[in-house]
Amino acid sequence: MSASETSRYVRLRVDLVLEVTERDELTDAALRRIDDDEFMPEEERAHAATAVREDEAEALAYLVEPFQLIGEVPGVELVQASWSSERADYDPDVDAWHLDDEDLEDEAEAEDGDGEEEGDARRTGRDV
């Protein structure tokens, strides 16, 4: 299939793990965002404020804005976006948390033959 025959739509998936280091700062910023949202109905605003005070993941969801992430990229228009956040029991030593493990191992094996040392160093760098 030629490039002209393929869809011009692209799905970009981003998986981030964030550490909340200052809960109060995060909550305050989310509450300010909720207060500044001129389109949010009052009933929803009260519910959102309660959720943000109780859960850092909710606070983060109110602060992450896909339109801002893609807004300055030339030649693209954001057609649809959805996002969510959730609490996670993160352990960098657990294999399930290594992003793109198969890709990293394949690249490492291609570069150094066995993939062990090179793959581990590269994986650690990407997970930071």
Number of domains in the chain: 2
Residues 57 and 101 in one domain: no
- Residue 114: what pLDDT? 45
Q: What is the 3-state secondary structure (H, E, C) of the chain?
A: CCHHHCCCCCCCCCCCCCCCCCHHHHHHHHHHHHHHCCCCCHHHHHHHHHHHHHCHHHHHHHHCCHHHHHCCCCCCCCCCCCCCCCCCCCCCCCHHHCCCHHHHHHHHHHHHCCCHHHHHHHHHHHHC
Its domain, for residue 73, covers 9-89
- Residue 116: what pLDDT? 39
Tell me the average confidence (pLDDT) per consecutive run of 10 residues in the chain, 128 residues long: 72 88 97 95 95 95 88 90 87 75 52 41 32
Residues 65 and 52 in one domain: yes
- Residue 99: what pLDDT? 65
For residue 1, being part of any structural domain is answered with no
pTM: 0.63
